[in-house]
Amino acid sequence: MDFKDWRQAAAQPEVEKEHAPGGRFHGGRFSDYIEEQIRAAEERGEFRNLRGMGQPLKLDTNPYAGEKALGYSLLKSSGYAPVEIELAREIRQEQERLEAQRAALSQRGRELRRRRVAPFASEKRAYNNAVNKALAAYEAKLRELNRKILTLNLTAPAALHRSSLDVEKLVSEFRAACPLFS
C-alpha cells in the first residue's frame, strides 16, 4: 500500500470523473449522465407507444387536501382511499346491507300472508323466530354503526360528517315492516 500525504491531497484536489457502464459518459455531474441516458433512449425509440400517449393528463386536484394532497393522490393512483373515506364507505355499505335484509324479510312475510292457503303453524313460528333474531341483530348492528359514525365524525372533515342513526325509530320501522304472526 502506498503512503499518501493527506496534506498535499487537501491542497491539490483531484478531479474524479464518473464513468458510465460502457465508458461513454465522461461528464462531471450525475444529472448529465441521466440526461444522456434519456437522450439515448429517445433515439432508440423506447418512449414511443407508451400507455396513455396522446391522451390528456388526469389532473385531479382536491382543494381541501392541503398538505396531504400528495399522499391522497398516491393512495388514489394505487386504488386506495383515506381512512375516513373507507370508513364512510363501510358505513354506507352496512346500512344498505341491513336495509336489504329487512326488505327481504318483509317480502317473505308478505308472501306468506298473500298465499291462498293460510300458512302452517310451523311456517308462522319459523317466520316469527326469523324476525326476532333479525330484529336483535339489526338493533346491534345499528348501535355498532352509530359507534362508527361517531368515529367518522371525530376524524373526518365537517363535509364528511353524518348524523347518528335513531335506533329506536328504525327498530319500530322494522317491526312495522315485518309484523309477527299471531
Q: pLDDT tens track of the chain, all 182 residues?
A: 566 766 665 555 554 444 445 555 555 688 888 899 999 999 998 888 888 888 887 776 777 778 888 888 888 888 888 888 899 999 999 999 999 999 999 999 999 999 999 899 999 999 999 999 999 999 999 999 999 999 999 999 898 899 999 999 999 999 999 999 98
pTM for the whole structure: 0.60
* Lookup: cell for 84: 375516513
102 vs 66: CA distance, rounded Å: 41
State which amino acid sits at residue 68.
Answer: K
Going by C-alpha positions, the residue among 50, 142, 57, 32 that lies closest to residue 95 is 142
| Geometric angle at alpha carbon 131, from 130 and 135, rounded to 5° | 120
